[in-house]
């Protein structure tokens, strides 16, 4: 009987206050595609994005399904200091610094994150705050 490869369950949750919110669907799709490539992941579906113009929830949401799970971003652009929330879940390896470097495109003022290992429970691998 063949032993199946070890599957990881890495989950990075990021909240960042930004100066350069993306409001264009094509630009968010490119941003997601570039992040997937930088993380050495493979796209299975997408990316897809949509802009919501409902007052109080104005902004863009984009997602991409990867071979090992998904990436999702929500950007609220109508706030005085726009906010982006990023969710990266993978059953493979995940390098935090690659994610932080990619977020720099959005000109962050503050990045907060939790990085979880979800193999058996919700073990916090790291968490933190970066202020610029």
What sign results for the dihedral spanned by CA atoms 48, 54, 55, 57?
negative
Q: Is 53 inside any structural domain?
A: yes
47 cis-preceded (ω within 30 degrees of 0): yes
With a CB cutoff of 8 Å and minimum separation 6, the contacts of 114 are 12, 13, 124, 126, 127
- Residues 46-66 have pLDDT tens digits of 999 999 999 989 999 999 999
Q: Read off the CATH number of the domain in which 72 is found.
A: 3.60.90.10
Q: What is the mean pLDDT of the chain?
A: 92
Q: Is 3 inside any structural domain?
A: no
Burial class (CB in 10 A: 0-12, 13-18, 19+), 103: buried
Tell me the residue range of the domain where 107 lies.
Answer: 10-131
**Rounded Cα distance, 96 and 13, in Å:** 10
Question: At 124, is the pLDDT very low, low, confident or very high (cuts 50, 70, 90)?
Answer: confident
In this structure, the strands spanning 108-117 and 10-18 are antiparallel
User: Crossing angle of helices 25-38/96-103, nearest 10°?
Assistant: 150
**What's the structural domain count of the chain?**
1
Give yes or no for a contact between 86 and 94, defined as CB atoms under 8 angstroms apart. no
Q: Is 95 inside any structural domain?
A: yes
- Flag whether pLDDT at 1 surpasses 50: no
Q: Is 5 inside any structural domain?
A: no
What's the whole-number mean pLDDT along residues 10-31? Answer: 97
């Amino acid at each position: 009987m063949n032993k199946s490869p070890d599957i990881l369950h890495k989950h990075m949750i990021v909240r960042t206050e930004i100066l350069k919110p993306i409001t264009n669907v094509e630009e968010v799709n490119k941003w997601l595609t570039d992040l997937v490539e930088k993380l050495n992941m493979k796209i299975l579906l997408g990316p897809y994005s949509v802009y919501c113009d409902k007052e109080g929830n104005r902004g863009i949401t984009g997602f991409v399904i990867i071979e090992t799970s998904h990436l999702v971003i929500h950007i609220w652009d109508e706030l005085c200091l726009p906010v982006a929330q990023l969710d990266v879940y993978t059953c493979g390896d995940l390098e935090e610094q690659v994610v932080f470097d990619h977020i720099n495109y959005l000109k962050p003022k503050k990045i907060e994150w939790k990085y979880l290992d979800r193999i058996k429970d919700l073990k916090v691998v790291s968490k933190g705050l970066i202020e610029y």
